[in-house]
Amino acid sequence: MPDIRYRTQSDRLPRWHFTLGVAVLITVSALAVGLPVADGKVTELSEHLAVYHGPINVGIVRDGPRALLIDCGDGTVTGALPKLGIKKVVQVVFTHHHRDQACGAYDLAAGGTRIGVPKAERELFANPTSYWNDEKKLWCVSASYRPSPLTLTEPLKVDEAYSDGDELTFGPAKIRVLDTPGHTNGAVSYLVEVDGKRVVFSGDCIYDEGQVWNVYSLQKGFAKGDRRIGAYHGFMGDRWRLVESLGRIKDLHPDMLVPSHGRLMSDPAKAINTLAVRFETCYENYVAISALRHYFPELFTDYAGRAGQMPIRPGVKPPDCLRHFGTTWMLVSKTGAALVMDAGSASVVERLKKMLDRGEIKSIDGLWVTHYHNDHTAGIGAFQREFDCPCFADRRLAEVLTKPAAWRLPCLANDPIRVDRRSEDGQSWQWHEFKLTAYNYPGQTLYHDALLVESGELRMFFVGDSHTMAGIDDYCAQNRNWLGRGVGFQYCISLIEKLRPTHIFNCHVADAFTFTPEEIRFMRKNLDRREKLLGELVPWDHANYGTDASWVRCHPYTQQVRPGERVRLGVVVTNHSTKPNTVRCRAVLPKALGPARTSWSKLDVPAKAEKPLPIEFDIPMGVPSGRYVVPIDVQYGQRNLPQFTEAIVDVK
């Protein structure tokens, strides 16, 4: 066993305050609070066409007492129909499969309303259970948002499916279907021609002039020539397709655009052009300091050498005390003892055994884990079975490593990892001739750490996957890369500025590198600008609501219970605003689990803080075993967000 003497230093957590864990969730008596009345306003566009403004905009095409709806949202639209003289909803047609578009459809379908959906998303409406029961869509997922976790949780009877060019008539209205992928793979828009007007219902293609509802749903792989990168690397990757889709809408010269989320646009061309320009500005800013340029230079040749792009300096050879293989760095002491960082596959164990056999190293003293991605952890089980030494990781990261089922994160395997020592931010200890210091490092992912290794003149900083010599690794929105001074990469580069490492190491890169003070300033300025640019691109009061797909999440995300037991979960809300916000939540229970909804719980979340709101409900005796997906209705400030997140309950 190594000699690990912890010296406790002051906690240097980023300014943001974390309150995690289920321990705080015991008190349940949900504060039942009144539901603020949803907007509920109706805009009549013409005699036969209206828009209901609820949590989303719902199109109402009228033919006397009958109506066809475009999307139905949470279903509250039905309360507004009698005032319009509408007695029956004959049909609903959907733009895409997200729950906020369609969660109110079950009652309509039960009442005989015909359901029409985009052909490419038919299965996600009719058979979402196969998505939810597919473990491959939950674990070790390289980017988990196509299909999105906003997929319906129970099957909906589908009567018709449409694709590009299909035409429907309803009363005097002619409705043309247009494939408009981007926000989802199979999304469509509907051009409604009636009363001399041409109105496009564009789903979530665009929110308002120059804005989209969020950025994280655009996470997708893309290709250039014969080179392609996968979804994990595709931050904003589907913006091209979305802009193409919007171009097709523009070519129809509509008088008006009606988005699902957002404001009616009476100058569609201007709204779309502004969005296309903003996308390019944001992406150019993003590429300027992206670590991707190191891995895929040929995909970014258009940007290379442009003003405002950070030049890439070549790396240098690592010091002799280090070995690199796979995603592992190994520190070797003069005594022959080795400290291993990450173990991405069982072959690491074979390699280490050979090194021991050949006398290249004398002992293995410990394993340090940089983050939870399975290309860094898949060999840890085998490592721990073979070598008797402690595994250590940052306290916050250890929460993910030891209880993966409680989280939904990209590249996370559902195999708990034993962590023997949980380091606090800034804790130092001596290991042979090296002084080691552990840090929180919310870089490549929010749950990530770094290790500073000092010896003589050497200050070697192991940052997992957070940087290459090209800059920062923030290409998977689902990793939660927060923007803002004092958080995310702004925090990380400030730490580099302070620690002045002589070498920085990435697990996937054999060469060492550093950042000069000028490069740090360049990255800081770029991130300041990005916060502003992405802030303008989304209709929230901070960019992070648009890029952080988990700003409302359930913890634990999955849990196992038996019939008769109580489900306890926290809806963890991250307030990215600079002011406090009030959040209300309730669970929407699957039919088999009893009363339709829990009562509303309410919580005030301070500015720039993450807090859990407890929700509890019982699993009745006799409930068949199986997987139940429990959506959560959320009200955040003035925003009504039906079924905005979800938890998975496996009844055994």
* CB proximity list for 130: less than 8 A, separation 6 or greater: 123
Q: Which stretch binds Zn ion (CB under 5 A): 199-207, 306-314, 337-345, 525-533?
A: 199-207
| Smallest gap from residue 221 Cβ to Zn ion (A) | 17
- 474 contacts Zn ion (rule: CB under 5 A): no
Give CA torsion, residues 163, 104, 152, 118, to 10 deg. 0
| Closer of 121 and 193 to Zn ion (Cβ) | 121
* Residue written as token pair 């080795």: 338
| Smallest gap from residue 204 Cβ to Zn ion (A) | 4
| Closer of 449 and 465 to Zn ion (Cβ) | 465
- CA distances to 120, 219, 342, 486, 539 from 182, rounded to whole Å, are 13, 10, 36, 32, 18
Candidate list 48, 62, 97, 98; residue touching Zn ion; CB under 5 A: 98
| Closer of 63 and 244 to Zn ion (Cβ) | 244
Q: Is 452 helix (H, G, I), strand (E, B) or coil?
A: strand
Q: Which stretch binds Zn ion (CB under 5 A): 201-209, 227-235, 271-279, 622-630?
A: 201-209
Q: Which of 405, 408, 353, 410 is nearest to 379 (CA)?
A: 353
Do strands 337-341 and 328-332 pair parallel, antiparallel, or not at all (unpaired)? antiparallel
| Smallest gap from residue 461 Cβ to Zn ion (A) | 16
| Closer of 508 and 568 to Zn ion (Cβ) | 508
Q: Which stretch binds Zn ion (CB under 5 A): 309-317, 371-379, 392-400, 448-456?
A: 371-379
| Closer of 478 and 559 to Zn ion (Cβ) | 478
Identity of the residue numbered 629: V
Q: How far apart are CA 536 and CA 282, in angstroms?
A: 10
Q: Which stretch binds Zn ion (CB under 5 A): 60-68, 95-103, 108-116, 631-639?
A: 95-103
Q: In what order do the strands lie in the sheet with 363-368?
A: 322-325, 328-332, 337-341, 363-368, 391-394, 421-423
What residues are paired with 367 via a beta bridge? Answer: 340, 391
Q: Which stretch binds Zn ion (CB under 5 A): 32-40, 366-374, 450-458, 545-553?
A: 366-374
| Closer of 2 and 55 to Zn ion (Cβ) | 55
| Smallest gap from residue 303 Cβ to Zn ion (A) | 23
Q: Which stretch binds Zn ion (CB under 5 A): 73-81, 202-210, 383-391, 522-530?
A: 202-210
| Closer of 124 and 527 to Zn ion (Cβ) | 124
| Smallest gap from residue 451 Cβ to Zn ion (A) | 15
| Closer of 342 and 610 to Zn ion (Cβ) | 342
| Smallest gap from residue 386 Cβ to Zn ion (A) | 24
| Smallest gap from residue 634 Cβ to Zn ion (A) | 15
Contact 568, 28 (CB under 8 A): yes
- 373 contacts Zn ion (rule: CB under 5 A): yes
| Smallest gap from residue 353 Cβ to Zn ion (A) | 25
- 204 contacts Zn ion (rule: CB under 5 A): yes
Q: Which stretch binds Zn ion (CB under 5 A): 12-20, 138-146, 367-375, 638-646?
A: 367-375
Q: Residues in contact with Zn ion, total (CB under 5 A)?
A: 4
Contact 178, 190 (CB under 8 A): yes
| Smallest gap from residue 232 Cβ to Zn ion (A) | 9
* Residue written as token pair 């990005």: 530
| Closer of 95 and 455 to Zn ion (Cβ) | 95
Q: Which stretch binds Zn ion (CB under 5 A): 47-55, 94-102, 338-346, 493-501?
A: 94-102
DSSP conformational letter for 363 = E
If one counts every other C-beta atom within 10 angstroms of the C-beta of residue 180, the result is 30
| Smallest gap from residue 465 Cβ to Zn ion (A) | 4
| Closer of 98 and 584 to Zn ion (Cβ) | 98
Q: How far apart are CA 468 and CA 506, in angstroms?
A: 6
Per-residue binding letters, 157-196, with Zn ion (x by CB under 5 A): ----------------------------------------
| Closer of 370 and 437 to Zn ion (Cβ) | 370
| Smallest gap from residue 507 Cβ to Zn ion (A) | 7
Q: Note the helical H segments in 35-118.
A: 99-102, 105-110
Q: How far apart are CA 261 and CA 43, in angstroms?
A: 15
| Smallest gap from residue 79 Cβ to Zn ion (A) | 23
- 448 contacts Zn ion (rule: CB under 5 A): no
Q: How far apart are CA 203 and CA 195, in angstroms?
A: 22
Q: Is 553 helix (H, G, I), strand (E, B) or coil?
A: strand
| Smallest gap from residue 183 Cβ to Zn ion (A) | 6
Q: Which of 107, 112, 50 is nearest to 76 (CA)?
A: 107
Q: How far apart are CA 340 and CA 364, in angstroms?
A: 7
- CA distances to 318, 413, 447, 558 from 368, rounded to whole Å, are 19, 18, 14, 27
| Smallest gap from residue 96 Cβ to Zn ion (A) | 6
Q: How far apart are CA 350 and CA 348, in angstroms?
A: 6
Q: Is 23 exposed, middle or buried (0-12, 13-18, 19+ CB in 10 A)?
A: exposed
| Closer of 391 and 615 to Zn ion (Cβ) | 391
| Closer of 373 and 611 to Zn ion (Cβ) | 373
If one counts every other C-beta atom within 10 angstroms of the C-beta of residue 155, the result is 13
| Closer of 204 and 424 to Zn ion (Cβ) | 204
Q: Which stretch binds Zn ion (CB under 5 A): 368-376, 417-425, 555-563, 603-611?
A: 368-376
Helix count and strand count (H, E) for the chain: 14, 36
* Residue written as token pair 């030494």: 389
Q: Which stretch binds Zn ion (CB under 5 A): 103-111, 203-211, 479-487, 548-556?
A: 203-211
- 465 contacts Zn ion (rule: CB under 5 A): yes
DSSP conformational letter for 13 = -
Strands (E), 322-433: 322-325, 328-332, 337-341, 363-368, 391-394, 421-423, 428-431
- 99 contacts Zn ion (rule: CB under 5 A): no
Binding interface with Zn ion (CB under 5 A): 98, 204, 373, 465
